[in-house]
Amino acid sequence: MLRQRNRELSILNTIAAALNHEVDLTQALDTALVSVAELFGLQTGWVFLLDAEGKSYLAAAQNLPPALADHPRRMGGTCTCLDDYAEGQLHDPQNITCSRLENLVVGTAGLRFHASIPLDAYGKPLGVLNVASTDWEELSADDLRLLYTVGDLVSIAVERARLFNRSVELGAVEERNRLAREIHDTLAQGLSAIALHIETADALLEAGADLERVQQAIQRALASTRTNLEEARRSVMDLRAAPLEGRNLGEALAKLAQDSVRKGRLDVRFEEIGSSHPLPPRVEIGLYRVAEEAVRNARRHAHARNITIQLVIQPERVELAIDDDGRGFDPSGIPEGHYGLIGINERVRLLGGTVELRSCIGEGTHFDIVVPLGGQA
């Protein structure tokens, strides 16, 4: 009995220490899954979390069997453990037959059961942690009891990571407001200078001064106007830190598709797999800009009539695939006027992702963009 208690305390201490240093949600969940696998002798685990609207999404996964790992759709939607959790029937860890694999034979690695651990923090429902043993059998009562405490540790880590993210977002808002005030002051000074030049020209005209002096004052006013106009445009673009206008990436891409159809002779279709998974703002903004540029290029340069956009969100990465039926081009050399392709590559590179571009003259263009999510802030 004493040996068993020492083992349990050692496991809890190890997991608590590992989670204590994580403020990134993805990293915290990955750390939890790795720790549970190592300390309990388990192989497979995954975590469903609830978003702000109470919808579940796959937040992290480790060693899923091929039937699930290779088919993200099967990890979407509801299942037995999520239904039980939503109905308040999953109070304690339970061994559950995995409903996502019930009618599958190939690629299941023999998986039938998993233990489901409810995740709650301060009475707030967060989601479900699922783990399965290496021999795909039901876990013992002792392991289930210990996993209940592990679930509490994971829940606290999830809530702490979310609070940290919210504090970062609030800090970003405050910084944008500060920049807005500075820009306002800069533009006010510029407009004052323009007014001064115009007043000088007006005074010179009234005084009957030499026409060349009047023209010089007007030219200075025009030059200042152009400079400040360019500054205003640049500032507005820089401050558009939320081009999604309060939508998540999937909703924004769906609207982009609808708007593109409405504005031109285009059939733009959008499909999302793995909905509700929250993404870091910089990833959402960057990928939205990439899709926007790809659609613009397909319309203006490739003269495409049909475009498909597919967004696949998984715990460890997000994939964006864009296809068009335009006239295509030779990828070995960027055609003149296709500077948008350079911008797409640059945006994805800054996100730490990769771009695969396939195109052939007369056969359209395909983009496959992959951005890793681990450690994104």
Question: Cα–Cα distance between 353 and 349 in angstroms, integer?
Answer: 5
The secondary structure of 197-210 as a DSSP string is HHHHHHHHHHTT--
Window from 87-96, 173-182, 199-208, 213-222 with minimum mean pLDDT: 173-182
Span between the terminal Cα atoms of the chain, in Å: 44
What pLDDT sits at residue 183? 58
pLDDT at res. 132: 83
Q: Which CATH number fits domain 249-372: 3.40.50.800, 3.30.565.10, 3.40.50.720, 3.30.930.10?
A: 3.30.565.10
HSE of 72 in the Cβ direction (CA atoms, 13 Å)?
19
Question: Per this entry, what is the length of the chain?
Answer: 377
Helix (H) / strand (E) element for 189: namely helix 141-206
SS3 29: helix
| Coil/strand/helix, residue 359 | strand
State residue 277's pLDDT score.
76
- Render pLDDT for 187-210 as a digit per residue (tens, 0 to 9): 667 777 788 878 888 888 888 888
User: What CATH number has the domain spanning 169-239?
Assistant: 1.20.5
Distances in Å between the Cα of 375 and the Cα atoms of 47, 116, 264 are: 17, 26, 39
Q: Tell me what the pLDDT averaged over the chain comes to.
A: 81
Q: What share of the chain is helix, strand, coil (3-state, %, to 5)?
A: 50, 20, 30
Residue 174's pLDDT is 59
Helix (H, G, I), strand (E, B) or coil at 352: coil
Of the candidate ranges 177-181, 292-296, 347-351, 361-365, the one whose mean pLDDT is the lowest:
177-181
Burial 104-114 (b: 16+ CB within 10 A, else e): eeeebbebeeb
Ramachandran category for residue 41: left, alpha or beta (phi over 0 → left; psi -120 to 50 → alpha): left
Mean pLDDT, range 47-61, rounded to an integer: 89
For residues 7 and 36, what is the distance between their CA atoms, to the nearest angstrom?
Answer: 13
pLDDT value at 168 more than 60: yes
pLDDT, residue 243, reads 64
Is the Cβ–Cβ distance between 373 and 283 less than 8 Å? yes
- Helix or strand (DSSP H, E) at 311: strand 306-313
pLDDT at 271: 94
Instruction: Tell me, rounded to whole angstroms, the distance of Cα 283 from its chain centroid.
Output: 5
With a cut of 80, say whether residue 265 has pLDDT above it.
no
Pairing relation of β-strands 317-324 and 365-372? antiparallel
Q: Which of 67-71, 271-275, 310-314, 363-367 has the weakest average pLDDT?
A: 271-275
Are the C-beta atoms of 35 and 14 separated by less than 8 Å?
A: yes
pLDDT of residue 371: 95
Q: Alpha-carbon distance 61 to 129, whole Å?
A: 10
Beta pairing class for 94-97 and 306-313: unpaired
Q: Tell me the pLDDT tens digit for each residue of 234-251.
A: 555 545 545 677 788 999
Whole-number percent of the chain with pLDDT over 70? 81
Sorting pLDDT into bands at 50, 70 and 90, what band is 301? confident
| pLDDT, tens digit (0-9, with 9 covering 90-100), for 303-350 | 889 999 999 998 889 999 999 998 888 777 665 545 567 778 888 988
The residues spanned by each domain of the chain are 2-167, 169-239, 249-372
Q: Say how far apart CA 11 and CA 9 lie, in whole Å.
A: 5
Instruction: Give the whole-angstrom CA distance, residue 42 versus residue 132.
Output: 6
- Look at residue 321 in the predicted model and tell me its pLDDT: 96
Per-residue pLDDT reduced to its tens digit, 97-154: 889 888 888 888 888 888 899 999 888 899 999 988 655 556 777 878 888 888 888 8
What superfamily in CATH does domain 2-167 come from? GAF domain (3.30.450.40)
Residue 231's Cβ-count burial label (10 Å; 0-12, 13-18, 19+) is middle
In which band, very low, low, confident or very high, does the pLDDT at 225 lie, cut at 50, 70 and 90? confident
Q: Per the structure block, which two tokens stand in for 375?
A: 């450690």
Residue 377 above 50 pLDDT? no
* Range with top average pLDDT, 50-54, 78-82, 272-276, 302-306: 78-82
